[in-house]
Chains A and B, each alone.
Chain A
Amino acid sequence: MIETRNLSKHYGEFVAVDRISFRVEPGQVLGFLGPNGAGKSTTMKMLAGFLTPSAGSASICGHDVVDSALAAKRLIGYLPEGAPSYGEMSVRGFLEFVADIRGLAGDQRRRRLDDVIGRLSLQDVVQQSIETLSKGFKRRVGLAQAILHDPQVLVLDEPTDGLDPNQKHEVRALIQAMAKEKTIIVSTHILEEVHAVCNRAIIIARGKVLADDTPRALEARSRFHQAVSLSAENAQAARDVLVRIGDVAAVEIDTQDQRVTAFPRPGKAIFGAVVEALKANGIQLREIALEQGRLDEVFRQITTTAKDAA
């Protein structure tokens, strides 16, 4: 479990993290979203015990990150931004070093090493020095290091940055596999990732929490939520039909691909009405879809209105 209370970090006048409070329980995968410089990494660095909070507090399974720093650090697995490690060491040498520092010994040490090397497919590079590895492998070494001691709490700062689509998929699967019994925080600015792994998302900008909800509920804030988009032979004709439906608030035609989107009035479902109206008026459809809402739009809307307000 991770809990923060009014967690803040100031650098002189500059407020990097501004009174952030949240609580993450085992089984939750929290996606930490925000523009660059929003305070995501700073918050994670405080959770991991690297930076000392200027005000407020944070605790890992009840251990305060400042007052009982060592106990907190033992429970946490942390992947720092950019997955730094010791380049001159071999992958095995590095992981053995971390295992020793983490107090793993004997059978358990061997089992855990074999397990993470297998899970992150590092078998072929264990003897290579880390600096000779590709970006994707370096990131996986960083992840292996973070999960080596099978921690209860995982804090992963951009775990899929720099990975190719296949590797991203593998890392997401790894996170999902661990999600059941662990408490996990993942920072990212790849929004599709939130769908793939998170069951909760916090959006922060300028150091403040702006939204804290499930990915679905966030999507529901989008004006695209429950909207119907379609492509028709004659976009203009389709539009003329759709604007006459009572529950349709607005209809837009994308200037690039001529895609027609009908937006519902708040709380209304329009899919059925749209389909019927189009059929009744003999509009030829190529394809039609019910939109779930667009996270990137919600993200932009939330983070830019915050900027305007500031």
Chain B
Amino acid sequence: MSPTRILFRRELASYFATPVAYVFIVIFLLLSGAFTFYMGGFYERGQADLQPFFGFHPWLYLFLIPAVAMRLWAEERKSGSIELLLTLPVTMGQAVLGKFFAAWAFVGIALALTFPIWITVNYLGDPDNGVIFASYLGSLLMAGAFLAVGSCLSAMTRNQVVAFILTVVACFLLLLSGFPMVLDFFRGLGFPQGVIDAISGLSFLTHFNAISKGVLDLRDLFYFGLMIGFWLYATTIVIDLKKAD
């Protein structure tokens, strides 16, 4: 078995060894349900789709994903176990990937547990299941990007609260840059369309919305892949720089 897989298994098990996993999953399911039915007007819309469900995911992730990501490295540094981990025969890349994939799989499990809503909408009407599948995929990719940002910022500090706040802010900015209000603001300032597109192109929101319309454009998938790769690579650099203090 490769070191990445061994680390992945250990990390994933560690989520379930503490109440963290159960609290996260319950809160995630409760909130995503509440948003969908009360704020999203799931019934009132009279449409058999999951737009109101997925529409709130970016905002739900904004607070819940940093809570998962904050412990990735900050805790290792605080407890000193990072010294143990990095003196075992594993490379930095394997350590970063193993931990990241475990966090991602964990969020994936939480996301998969929302399946009753997929069943519900199929029971109530005749939705486009292709779109729903694409939305789930988009949501998972976006969660991965959030986690990769969180992984990097968590490596910067040994304090989990600081890691949490930094990640929320960074992810908020990355979400915001695709928000119509923000883009209109820049448009109002007279920026050319190219700049506006670049700002919007950086956003999780733009790409997530594109995927959740059911259009699996390679560019959107590429964007999330690139985001994840970039932030994970940054994680290895930050760990190298900061592990001594």
Contact = CB atoms under 8 A, between A and B. Distances in A.
> Secondary structure of the B side of the interface?
helix
Given A84-B80, A88-B14, A78 B87 contact: yes
Contacts of B1: 100
B14 to A, nearest CB: 6
Interface string A81-94: 11011111100010
Nearest to A105: B1
A88 B87 contact: no
Nearest to A77: B87
Interface stretch (A68-76, A187-195, A251-259, A277-285): A68-76
Interface string B68-108: 00000000000111011011111100000000000000000
Contacts of A85: 81, 84
A45 interface: yes
B17 interface: yes
A101 B89 contact: yes
| Interface hub of A11, A48, A86, A145 (most chain B Cβ within 10 A) | A86
B17 A88 contact: yes
A88 B81 contact: no
Interface residues of A, number: 31
A88 B18 contact: yes
A51 interface: yes
Contact of B86 (A49, A97, A103): A49
A66 B97 CA distance: 21
A76 B79 CA distance: 22
B41 to A, nearest CB: 41
Nearest to A11: B244
A98 interface: yes
5 contacts: A74-B89, A84-B80, A86-B10, A89-B10, A89-B14
Interface of A: 11, 45, 48-52, 69-70, 73-74, 76, 78, 80-82, 84-89, 93, 97-98, 100-103, 129, 145
